[in-house]
Amino acid sequence: MDKGLLEARKVTDDDCSCEHTAITQAERESELTDEQATGIVEIFKALGDPTRVKIIYFLLNKELCVHDLGMRIGMEQSAVSHQLRYLRDLHIVKRRKEGKTVYYSLDDEHIEQIFVQTMVHLGHK
């Protein structure tokens, strides 16, 4: 392989033919913070697991208990509980206790919107 292809080339302003625009104060104030970027990564990481995606799918239309989720997904209740705890810590799902039974539902409509929009996007293939 050509040694020149292996060497990294530093990009300079001379390499750019676009018109540069200054960053306004309003743009600077609305920039994505490290904390926000980390939060987004955590949400997408949660959605990066098929089991958690299935849990969210089943909770789109109604709340379910751990037993019902386990039956739908084909997993032991302890494994489902572990995934629910992970989703709950990220405020993706919430729980409601009725006697000894704990019911889970999506935390808010934003999670539903993210999920539904992703499904719509997949339909464009």
Query: In the chain, pLDDT over 70 holds for what percent of residues?
Result: 86
93: Cβ–Cβ under 8 A, 6 or more apart, which residues? 55, 56, 59, 84, 87, 104, 105, 106, 107, 111
Cα torsion 67, 68, 71, 73 to 10°: value is -110
> CA 100, 87, 125: angle at the middle one, nearest 5?
130
pLDDT of residue 17 exceeding 90: no
Q: What is the pLDDT of residue 45?
A: 94
Query: In the chain, pLDDT over 90 holds for what percent of residues?
Result: 69
Q: What is the pLDDT of residue 5?
A: 46
Q: What's the average model confidence in pLDDT over 74-90?
A: 96
Q: Provide the H-helix boundaries in the chain.
A: 3-6, 25-29, 34-46, 50-59, 66-73, 77-89, 109-122
Q: What is the pLDDT of residue 39?
A: 93
Q: What is the pLDDT of residue 79?
A: 96
Tokens standing for 96? 């409601």
